[in-house]
């Protein structure tokens, strides 16, 4: 496009991403848009979930190579049980297929699998596959690939509150002693240690809401919303997103 002065304006399509600049340590992603991706291609919704699983592989690999410490992926929420049974069943099979195919790569990449969520309510085959992947990768020291499976943040916080109240009730804890770290120690993300809080929250598909995801842990995270549907989100899209993070100025309430 020509500007008023006749010079050709440079189109803003170049990625801002720089590999040697700050990389967010904990990235959390709401992987949205699988159903719409499939419907656009006149395919059943589950085809979108299957393609979404391939995106998980690509993004895990690239995030790990870039030095991300924790990648938390919202794979199934406590509200997703409301979907039709065949779709729920398919979503419960996906972790089985994913770990079956991808654990050797995760080991090669030094990626450690962890899970947050009410996993005791998952079907046995899903729980077994998840536990096996955790076991198989437990000695890995690189990026943590943290799946949120049957996860809901409000329930997580209510359970944490109940446990803290019980500690007060039985005299283990004084009310005045309750602080951020007391609360964080009772959250499902406690095992993430220094990386418990999210630096960058990405949601694909154009929806701009948080959907009961890591409400405490996202208190000071940066948000990035993209219209790209999850199955189309690739390594370049991740780099573009990180490039935008690299231009943000995080103030944590200060100046
Ligand atoms: C939201 O898209 C997506 C989900 C509820 C499931 C996400 C799961 C995956 C991407 C695969 C996970 C892979 C592993 C390895 C566990 P949607 O179905 O709500 O899409 P829509 O908004 O277009 O309908």
b/e map of 37-73 (b: 16 or more CB within 10 Å)? Answer: bbeeeeeebbbbbbbbbebbeebbbbbbebebbbbbb
Q: How far is the CA of 52 from the centre of ligand 1 (A)?
A: 7
Among 99, 55, 105, 102, smallest CA distance to 228 is for 55
Write the pLDDT tens digit of every residue in 146-158: 999 999 999 999 9
Does ligand 1 come within 6 angstroms of the Cβ of 70?
no
Domains of the chain: total: 1
In a domain, 208, yes or no: yes
Atom number of ligand 1 nearest to Cα 102: 15
- Tell me, yes or no, whether 178 lies in a domain: no
Residue 201 phi/psi, 5-degree rounding, is -110, 120
Ligand 1 close to Cβ of residue 49 (< 6 A): yes
Contacts of 7 (CB under 8 A, 6+ apart): none
- Give me the CATH number covering residue 133: 3.40.1180.10
**Where is 151: in which H helix or E strand?**
strand 144-151
3-state secondary structure of 147: strand
**Separation of CA 20 and ligand 1 centre (Å):** 32
Q: State pLDDT tens for residues 172-206.
A: 999 999 999 999 999 999 999 999 999 999 999 99
Whether 41 is covered by a domain: the verdict is yes
For 86-115, the pLDDT digits (tens) are: 999 999 999 999 999 999 999 999 999 999
**Cα angle 122, 126, 130; round to 5:** 105
Q: Is residue 218 part of a domain?
A: yes
Residue 92 lies in a domain: yes
pLDDT in tens, 199-243: 999 999 999 999 999 999 999 999 999 999 999 999 999 999 999
Residue 8 belongs to a domain? no
| pLDDT above 60 (res 120) | yes
**Which residue's alpha carbon is at the smallest distance from atom 13 of ligand 1?**
53
The parent domain of residue 114 ranges over 23-152+195-230
Question: Does the C-beta of 53 come closer than 6 Å to ligand 1?
Answer: yes
Rg (CA), the chain: 20
pTM for this prediction? 0.93
Whether residue 181 is contained in a domain is answered as no
* Ligand 1 atom 24, closest CA: 35
Residue ranges of the annotated binding site for substrate are 33-37, 45, 49, 77-79, 81, 83, 203, 209-211
Write the DSSP string, 20-86: TS---SEEEEE---HHHHHHHTT--HHHHHHHHHHHHHHHHHHHHHHT-SEEEEEEEETTGGGS-HH
How high is the pLDDT of residue 253? 81
Q: By alpha-carbon position, which residue is closest to atom 2 of ligand 1?
A: 32
| C-beta of 56 in contact with ligand 1 (< 6 A) | yes
* Residue-wise burial string across 8-26, b where 16 or more C-beta atoms lie within 10 A, e elsewhere: eeeeeeeeebeeeeebbbb
Query: Which residue bears the tokens 């398919």?
Result: 90
Give dist(CA 235, CA 55) in Å, integer: 9
CA distance 132 to 126: 10
For 236, the enclosing helix (H) or strand (E) is helix 235-247
Phi, psi (deg, nearest 5) at residue 116? -120, 150
Q: Does the residue 127 lie in any domain?
A: yes
* Catalytic residue list contains 110: no
Contacts of 108 (CB under 8 A, 6+ apart): none
The string of pLDDT tens digits covering residues 34-53 is: 999 999 999 999 999 999 99
- Is 199 catalytic? The answer is no
245 within 8 A of 222, measured Cβ to Cβ: yes
Quote the ligand 1 centre to 58 CA distance (angstroms).
15
Question: Which of 29, 30, 31 gets mutated to test ligand 1 (max ligand atoms within 8 A of its CB)?
Answer: 31
């Amino acid at each position: 496009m020509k500007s008023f002065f006749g010079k050709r304006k440079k189109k803003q399509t170049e990625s801002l991403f720089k590999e040697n600049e700050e990389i967010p340590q904990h990235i959390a992603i709401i992987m949205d848009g699988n159903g719409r991706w499939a419907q656009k291609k006149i395919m059943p919704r589950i085809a979108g979930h299957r393609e979404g699983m391939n995106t998980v592989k690509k993004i895990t690999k690239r995030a790990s190579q870039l030095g991300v410490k924790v990648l938390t992926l919202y794979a199934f929420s406590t509200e997703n049980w409301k979907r039709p049974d065949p779709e729920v069943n398919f979503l419960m099979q996906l972790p089985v297929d994913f770990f079956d195919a991808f654990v050797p790569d995760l080991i090669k990449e030094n990626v450690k699998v962890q899970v947050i969520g009410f996993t005791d309510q998952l079907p046995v085959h899903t729980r077994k596959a998840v536990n096996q992947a955790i076991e198989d990768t437990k000695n890995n020291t690189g990026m943590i690939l943290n799946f949120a499976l049957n996860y809901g943040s409000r329930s997580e916080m209510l359970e944490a509150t109940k446990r803290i109240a019980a500690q007060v009730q039985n005299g283990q804890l004084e009310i005045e002693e309750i602080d951020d770290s007391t609360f964080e120690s009772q959250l499902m993300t406690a095992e993430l240690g220094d990386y418990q809080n999210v630096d960058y929250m990405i949601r694909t598909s154009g929806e701009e809401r948080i959907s009961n995801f890591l409400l405490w842990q996202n208190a000071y995270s940066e948000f990035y919303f993209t219209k790209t549907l999850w199955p189309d989100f690739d390594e370049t899209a991740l780099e573009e997103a990180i490039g935008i993070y690299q231009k943000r100025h995080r103030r944590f309430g200060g100046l």
